[in-house]
Amino acid sequence: MASAAPTATRTETDSLGSMEIPAEVYWGIHTARADANFPIAKRPISVYPDLVRGLAMVKQASARANKEIGVLDAERAGLIDAAAQRVIDGEFHDQFTVGVIQGGAGTSTNMNANEVITNIALEMAGREKGDYAFLGPIDHTNRSQSTNDVYPTAIKIGLSLNLRSLLEELDLLRRSFLGKAGEFHNVLKVGRTQLQDAVPMTLGQEFHGFATTLGEDQERLAENAKLMFEINMGATAIGTGITTHAGYAPAVLKHLRAISGLDLSTATDLVESTSDTGAFMSFSSSLKRNAIKLSKICNDLRLLSSGPQAGLGEINLPAKQAGSSIMPAKVNPVIPEAVNQVAFAVVGADMTVTMAVEAGQLQLNAFEPVIAHSIFQSITWMRQAMWTLRVNCVDGITANEDRLGAMVGASVGVITALTPFIGYAAAAALAKTALLTNRNVADLVVEAELMSREEVTKQLSPARLSGLEAVTSAIPIVLPEDMIQI
């Protein structure tokens, strides 16, 4: 059997020694070492394209700033700029191979970006990959920078970009619930508190409540996103700005704002900003809030659709999968169940972020890789969960109007709407009678000569029962002994 032809390589050297790197790849020795050292998550940083774009934006802005302040010549700055733009545009993302979980406070990620962008630039210049004497990953692409300002800044930019798509999907889901609220606006049902029958409402009001709570989360997420706009570029290693020109920080901020389109600002205390990761914890917490509320909605959808014969059976969820390998015709609420599980994962990720933020020591938090991974994963999973909930569930929900109407008619809770006219004591007595005799409340009120049939019908209309039409009549005094016993 013939042996495989040897793969062409190039030799790269760092402070630990030399390694052979496949000639065709754009990453280099630092990335190769990280790939060997951190085969943990089996997920490269390229699974989060917005993080890769954030890294490239920082490198592009730095090249422009370094050229502006005169610490990098126009030719090299231009090559880095052009190479970074290609990454921003979506090229070469497969070359970002280091794992999402890594030691070194993100140094491997920063060097992965430095090496890939450098080798793209070298190729564009007509030179061989690895010709670092002409253009180097550290001396040129990483000029005026440190992992400790590049990495958190790239994460913040990436999260800001990523959040846009989440907010778009969240708004689509909100609108889907609003559409159902309109569709069900006149469908009466029994409301419930503590899982017990309460007063009537409309199914439309229930779905409108779902839409409203999601809209509130849109606002909270957008507010917390602003925490991502404070960056520490120019801080370098610990916030003192060592190795940077005095004009670098304002110059890189200016270019980064233009490139990203974000309202970024430089932290007033770069030492504090380099060591503090509290903004990530607040951002993660807002994601958890959204996930929990979304999970509560899914709990309600599962409960409202339970049955279909022996449960509430008020709504029908679209049938998406056979529900059992043994029970024929069984269909389960698989879409809400999947969203519930995403919510559980987001809660766990938020705890991870919290512990990682707490574990920071002195001038740096070494655990930003797991912070970044946890938040990016939460956004990604939540966005996809919202999509499937909208497309595969909410848009296809129908109401069991006959069943809902029957339950309202049989519910003693409707008598609450008559208390302004017959008084609480009389209403309580009639409610008890209705429960004991299983009779219709409206019939009992008319038979007790407390209200006419016309008055009862008017007050038990969908508009009155759901509170859409106000009741302002005076309450007459009706004592229990004045009532006709049924």
pTM, 2 dp: 0.87
Pairing of strands 196-202, 230-231: unpaired
**Structure confidence at residue 183 (pLDDT):** 95
Spacing of C-alpha 411 from chain mean position: 39
**Residue 179: is its pLDDT beyond 50?**
yes
**Sequence-distant (≥ 6) Cβ neighbours of residue 412 within 8 angstroms:** 197, 431, 434, 435, 441
**Residues 348-405 pLDDT 10s:** 999 999 999 999 999 889 999 999 999 999 999 999 999 999 999 999 999 999 998 8
Q: How far apart (Å, rounded) are the C-alpha atoms in residues 142 and 121?
A: 13
| CB 21, CB 130: distance < 8 Å | yes
Q: How far apart (Å, rounded) are the C-alpha atoms in residues 451 and 8?
A: 95
User: Token pair of 41, please?
Assistant: 């998550």
**Structure confidence at residue 211 (pLDDT):** 95
**Structure confidence at residue 5 (pLDDT):** 60
Select from 335, 377, 150, 331 the least CA-distant residue to 248.
150
Mean residue pLDDT across the chain: 90
User: Token pair of 308, please?
Assistant: 């279909």
**Residues 421-463 pLDDT 10s:** 888 888 888 888 888 888 888 888 888 888 888 888 887 776 6
What positions carry a catalytic annotation?
A: 324
**Structure confidence at residue 186 (pLDDT):** 87
**Residue 33: is its pLDDT beyond 90?**
yes
